[in-house]
Homo-oligomer: A and B are copies of this chain.
Amino acid sequence: MRHLSTRRLGAILALSVATLPLAAHADDDADRTAIRDLWGTYAEARVAGDADTWLALWDDGGMQMPPGTPALGVDVLRARVPEAFAAGGVNTMRIDPQEIEISGDWAYARGVYDSDRLMDGAEVTISGKFLTILRRQDDGSWRIYRDIFNGND
Contacts and interface: CB of A to CB of B under 8 A. Distances in A.
Interface string A55-85: 0000000010111111100000000000000
A97 B23 CA distance: 25
Interface of A: 6, 9-10, 13-14, 16-18, 21-23, 63, 65-71, 101, 103-106, 108, 110, 112, 129-131, 133, 146, 148-153
Q: Which of A13, A21, A66 has the most CB of B within 10 A?
A: A13
| Number of identical protomers | 2
Given A22-B104, A66-B150, A106-B106, 5 more contacts: A6-B6, A17-B18, A21-B104, A130-B148, A131-B148
Q: Which of A16, A71, A103, A112 has the most CB of B within 10 A?
A: A103
